[in-house]
Structure formats: C-alpha cells, structure tokens
Amino acid sequence: MNIAKNWNQISIGQFQQINAAIKNYPDNAITQAVWILSALTENTRDELLALDFTKDFKPLMRQLDWIHSTALPTQLPKQFELEGENYQLVYDMKQRTTGQFVDLAHFTADPEQIIPNLHFILAVLCIPVGQKNHADGFEQRAKLFQQKLSIAIAYPIATFFLKLWVDSLPHILTYLEQQAAPKKKWWMKIIGSLRATGGWLRLIRLRKTAPNGTST
C-alpha cells in the first residue's frame, strides 16, 4: 500500500478523517489505524479488517507513527497554486469583506466543528488572484480544497486567521455596531451571529502540534 509519509501528502479531507478517527477512538489504536488507513489508501475498512494482524496489519500501523509524533507545519505561504489556479493570501483583516466576516462566524460558531468545516473556512479566506467576491464558486472551491489542498498549506493559514479572528473580533463588533443604524435589523442579526461564536477565546481548537486529540 502507498501510504503518505508526511503532512505535505495529506489533503484537508484526509486530515479531517484522521482527526475524527483519533477523536472517536482515543483508547483504541487498532480501530484508529483501520479508519486512518481507509482514509489514506484505496482499501475499505472491511478489507483492512480481513488482513492478517501480525503479518500484514501491524507493519501498516507502524507506517502511521509519524502522524502522532510529527508537528503540523506552521510556515505561512504568501500564495499557493492548486489545479492551475493561483491563490493570493491577504493577511490583513481590514481588507476582508462583511460577507467573509459573516461566513467565518457561521463556520466557526461551534468549536467542535472547526476541523470538519476547515475546507469551508479556507474557501472563505482564499480566493483566486483577481477575484473579488469570495462567494463566487464557493462550493466548488471548498470541495476542491477538501480533496486536493495539502493540510501543510491549509493548517498554517487556518490557525493564523482564526487567531487573528479571535484577536480582531471585539474591534469588528464595535465597527459593525457603528454601522448598524441605517439597516439596524439586518446589521444586528450579523452582530448577533458574530457574538454567538461561543466566546472568542474558545474559538481556537485546532491542534498546534500533531493531531493527537490535545486541545490548546
């Protein structure tokens, strides 16, 4: 079996499945390995369960050791290319649109869903060079990111922006409240959505080391 050997070879979707396996089976290394191997190979769980444990399965388990011992990358890219499309990253929250703030509030409202929503969060934050509205092609971009974008690229971007989001949220709320008068009902709904993110200090639940189930 051809099994990934580092985070560069792991997509967002595979990382989500790895995280779910570790979270759902924290005390069962064998079951964890079955789910992770099914995410990283073309083998089904039934096929993996049918393998001889000592001869075939244990060697495969050992090939997953790096997942539990290797820290996720933290180097922020200035841009990246995926499927022939260039994505420019703007790290200044002041240059984000109201729509992006609203969508970030939606996809980060439940801290437990941040990793399952990671491809959506990246699709909000990362748009093709020259495109102005993040909503254009959003669903297709999120699906592409989930299937193809390496977690080695996605993780540093997401953790940086989520920390920046947490730090900026009080100022964002103040600004939105100042803008609320002309369309008070609509703006207050947005503000309420932002305030409902579960307390911004709880927002960062993405792991800062290996995805071993330890929250920061």
What angle do the packed helices 118-125 and 98-107 form, to 10 degrees?
Answer: 170
Residue 191 pLDDT: 44
Residue 185 pLDDT: 54
Residue 187 pLDDT: 44
The structure tokens 């207050």 sit at 188
Taking Cα atoms as reference points, which of 159, 174, 120 lies closest to residue 143? 120
The CA-to-CA distance between both ends of the chain, in Å, stands at 34
Residue 151 pLDDT: 96
Q: Which two tokens stand for residue 18?
A: 């790895």
Q: What is the CA radius of gyration of the chain?
A: 19
Contact assessment for residue 211 and residue 22, using Cβ atoms and an 8 Å cutoff: yes
Residue 112 pLDDT: 86
Tell me the pTM. Answer: 0.78
pLDDT in tens, the chain (216 residues): 889 999 999 999 999 999 999 999 999 999 999 999 999 998 999 999 999 999 999 999 999 999 999 999 989 988 899 999 999 887 777 777 778 878 888 888 888 898 999 999 999 999 999 888 888 999 999 999 999 999 999 999 988 887 777 676 666 556 555 555 555 554 455 445 544 443 333 333 333 333 343 333
79/90 Cα distance (integer angstroms): 9
Residue 178 pLDDT: 58
- Report the relative pairing of strands 85-88 and 79-82 from DSSP bridges: antiparallel
The amino acid at 49: L
Residue 202 pLDDT: 35
Taking Cα atoms as reference points, which of 1, 7, 155 lies closest to residue 69? 7
Residue 42, Ramachandran bin (φ over 0: left; ψ between -120 and 50: alpha; else beta): alpha
Contact assessment for residue 123 and residue 134, using Cβ atoms and an 8 Å cutoff: yes
Sequence-distant (≥ 6) Cβ neighbours of residue 68 within 8 angstroms: 210, 212
Residue 197 pLDDT: 42
Residue 174 pLDDT: 61
127 forms beta bridges with 88
Q: Which two tokens stand for residue 184?
A: 């008070």
